[in-house]
Amino acid sequence: MIASLGGSALVALTPRTAVSVEPSRCVRHRCSKNACTKCVDVCPTGAVTWNGGLDVDATVCTQCLRCLAVCPTAALSAPELSLRRLLSDLAEHPLPVLGCHGQPDTEAHARVACLGYLADPEFMVLVALVFSSGLHVNLTACADCSNGHILDGIRTAHMSLDDLVPDHSIKLVRNQRELDFEEPSLSRRQLFSHFRKHSTRTAATVVSRLQGDERQYAYGDKLLPAMRVLLLKVLKESTAEHRRTIADRLFGEITFTSACAGSRRCVGVCPTGAIQPVDDDEHPPDFDRDLCVSCGSCVAFCPNQGVLQLDLGIVEKRPNEPT
């Protein structure tokens, strides 16, 4: 019976045990001059490698999700991880607890493959804004886990909230006695009905505004990572100053120099559509900071050094650029 199945059918029936790669989103696949190695560098087991193409070795991948946390274009994905579904599941509870699948005996209302996903500052900010009434991250078993190395990244991302979301209620729980976990007493429908009757600013209400179609895209299409899409939606309810503070810390920034020749190569190589052409060839393209994920492709691809990437107000010069 099994022998009669085609290769694609066998792949579909085999559970995914590692993160996977979507080459069309990987900046090195899209731009050969982009030497990004973020996911390779952060992988603690050497499961993620580049050898003419990005590859993940399922035999050594531990699903710590650190690679997902550093990939600017969401070229890597984890089994059964839907960001919208995760937020929705957490929003069903007054004080949600986030845990991981690797520790099934720990208490949690929703889980990801590994809490290393929280090492992404954008994700940390997103959950802080959505769950303004509080969210607990169950780290009680992380110290004894083989993926315990994730803790430093999570702490760093969490510390950034002090500046980005000063009034946040995200708590990293390492001691079981400090974990505030309650089994749901209402059905999903009852809970959402209750929230909507008593508040317009609950997590359930916010999450309902974030739902949308998750379309499939062809290789050449521009695509903003779902994380940034949801964060921008949530930020619409923030003050202009708050949005600017978060953008200054998390979003990319580039500038066009006098060497820009108007070739528009940067427009084509940009994976998110942050760089758009203008009608006048004598002027540089338009730049939308909200869509910039700091992938560096525009800088790497420009033959004239006409694009500079800025980081927290500091210009990152290309190796051959004069000081």
Closest by CA to 166, choosing from 245, 229, 104, 219, is: 245
pLDDT given for residue 213 in this prediction: 53
Tokens of 215: 């379309």
Do both 87 and 65 map to the same domain?
no
Do both 181 and 100 map to the same domain?
yes
Report how far residue 199's alpha carbon sits from residue 222's, in angstroms, rounded to the nearest whole number.
37
Q: How many domains in the chain?
A: 3
pLDDT-derived band at 280, boundaries 50, 70, 90:
confident
What value does the mean pLDDT of the chain take?
84
CATH code, 257: 3.30.70.20
Give alpha helix (H) positions in the chain: 7-13, 27-30, 38-42, 66-70, 83-90, 121-130, 150-159, 161-164, 188-198, 203-210, 226-235, 240-250, 265-269, 297-301
Tokens of 150: 């994730």
What's the domain range around 188?
83-207
pLDDT-derived band at 283, boundaries 50, 70, 90:
confident
Please determine, for residue 226, whether its predicted confidence score (pLDDT) is greater than 80.
yes
Closest by CA to 250, choosing from 294, 316, 313, is: 294
For residue 255, give the 3-state DSSP assignment: strand
Q: Which of 181, 207, 233 is the last residue of a domain?
A: 207
Q: What percent of the chain has pLDDT over 70?
A: 81
- Condensed to tens digits (0 to 9), the pLDDT of residues 39-84 reads 999 999 999 999 999 999 999 999 999 999 999 999 999 988 899 9
Q: Which of 207, 230, 259 is the last residue of a domain?
A: 207
Report how far residue 183's alpha carbon sits from residue 125's, in angstroms, rounded to the nearest whole number.
26
Which region among 72-86, 91-105, 205-219, 282-296 has the lowest average model confidence (pLDDT)?
A: 205-219
Strands 307-311 and 314-316: antiparallel
pLDDT given for residue 312 in this prediction: 45
Give the residue-averaged pLDDT of 164-191.
82
Do both 22 and 111 map to the same domain?
no
Question: At 259, which amino acid appears?
Answer: A
Do both 30 and 136 map to the same domain?
no
Q: Which of 60, 77, 94 is the last residue of a domain?
A: 77
Question: Does residue 162 sit within a domain?
Answer: yes
